[in-house]
């Protein structure tokens, strides 16, 4: 992306985009408008860098991160959600890179972010664990992965309300794929408090925060996505502070300067 603040749209065949647009169109505001408590608790005082907000919703988390000095890429599959989030950022004159896309369609650059935050993401569980692997792959060496979801203590009650817990990725699913190149800092259930908005009735969250250990020596940097395909950085990941834009395979010295959300 050439300029922060603009929206890059990635083609997706998912029917969930229409479903989420319909949900957002029912209300002028779906979520509380406040940054998620776990994000604030875990990242206050952290050294800012490049952040990916997965399932940015109406933008409260992305705005909070940008105010803390992070260079934020905010991703969501709902056109209405991204439009609202961008409007909020524009009113506050905050630069954020917006991407209208599902997580897997976005083809995130491997190791592209110092923070990958997924707050209550609606990521489908698949046999190949594609969503979990995409989240993990996007974190840079030394970077942080923060995944938060509701603690579904009563699965039967959830099913009665039309929610099938087994269909969705949980923090535990992500934690299960972290190897010895990771250190788990937090993996716990904690109480939550929120002033309002959809999902305010949930009382507990599962919070996973882990960081990727830095390598013993700096590896050569290649521009490959998690899917194994080479990455065209001219498309939209050419953020002003993007790490993967600082070095190219052909010119080692060349310098250059966001799925769904169930709760915010």
pLDDT in tens, 8-21: 888 676 678 888 78
Rounded CA separation 52/187 (Å): 20
For residue 150, the cross-strand partners are 205
Helix H, strand E, coil C: the string for 220-236 is CCCCEECCCCECCCCCC
CA dist 235 and 144 (Å) reads 25
Q: Work out the average pLDDT over 226-244.
A: 38
What is the model's pLDDT at position 54? 97
Q: Give pTM, 2 decimals.
A: 0.74
Average per-residue pLDDT for the chain: 78
> CA-CA distance, 100 to 78, in Å (whole number)?
7
Q: Residues for the chain: how many in total?
A: 264
Residues 231, 199 contacting (CB under 8 angstroms): no
Assess whether pLDDT exceeds 90 at residue 111: yes
- Strand pairing partners for 72? 51
pLDDT at 28: 73
**Region 211-235 average pLDDT:** 52
Per-residue pLDDT for 201 more than 80?
A: no
CA distance 36 to 204: 13
Q: Ranked by mean pLDDT, which of 61-65, 227-231, 246-250, 258-262 comes out on top?
A: 61-65
Higher pLDDT, 226 or 133: 133
How many Å separate Cα 241 from the centre of its chain? 18
Q: Which residue, among 137, 136, 142, 205, has the nearest Cα to 176 in the 3D structure?
A: 136
Q: Which residues contact 140 (CB under 8 A, 6 or more apart)?
A: 49, 50, 111, 112, 113, 114, 212, 243
Give the model's confidence band at 144: pLDDT under 50 very low, under 70 low, under 90 confident, else very high: very high
Reading the block at residue 20, the tokens are 């989420």
User: For 68-77, what is each residue's pLDDT tens digit?
Assistant: 999 999 999 9
d(CA 41, CA 54): 18
């Amino acid at each position: 992306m050439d300029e922060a603040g603009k929206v890059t749209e990635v083609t997706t065949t998912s029917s969930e985009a229409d479903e989420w647009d319909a949900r957002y169109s029912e209300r002028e505001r779906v979520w509380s408008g406040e940054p998620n408590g776990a994000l604030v608790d875990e990242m206050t005082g952290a050294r800012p860098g490049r952040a990916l907000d997965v399932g940015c919703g109406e933008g409260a988390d992305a705005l909070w991160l940008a105010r803390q000095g992070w260079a934020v890429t905010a991703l969501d599959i709902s056109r209405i959600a991204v439009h609202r989030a961008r409007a909020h950022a524009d009113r506050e004159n905050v630069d954020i890179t917006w991407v209208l896309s599902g997580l897997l369609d976005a083809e995130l650059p491997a190791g592209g972010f110092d923070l990958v935050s997924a707050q209550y993401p609606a990521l489908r569980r698949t046999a190949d664990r594609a969503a979990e692997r995409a989240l993990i792959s996007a974190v840079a060496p030394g970077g942080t992965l923060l995944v938060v979801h509701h603690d579904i203590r009563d699965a039967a009650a959830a099913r009665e309300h039309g929610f099938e817990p087994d269909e969705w990725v949980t923090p535990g699913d992500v934690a299960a794929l972290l190897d010895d190149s990771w250190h788990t800092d937090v993996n716990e259930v904690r109480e939550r408090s929120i002033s309002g908005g959809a999902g305010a009735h949930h009382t507990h969250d599962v919070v996973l925060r882990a960081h990727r250990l830095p390598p013993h020596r700096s590896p050569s940097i290649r521009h490959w996505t998690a899917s194994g395909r080479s990455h065209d950085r001219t498309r939209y990941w050419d953020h002003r502070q993007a790490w993967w834009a600082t070095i190219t395979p052909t010119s080692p010295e060349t310098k250059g300067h966001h799925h769904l959300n169930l709760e915010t």
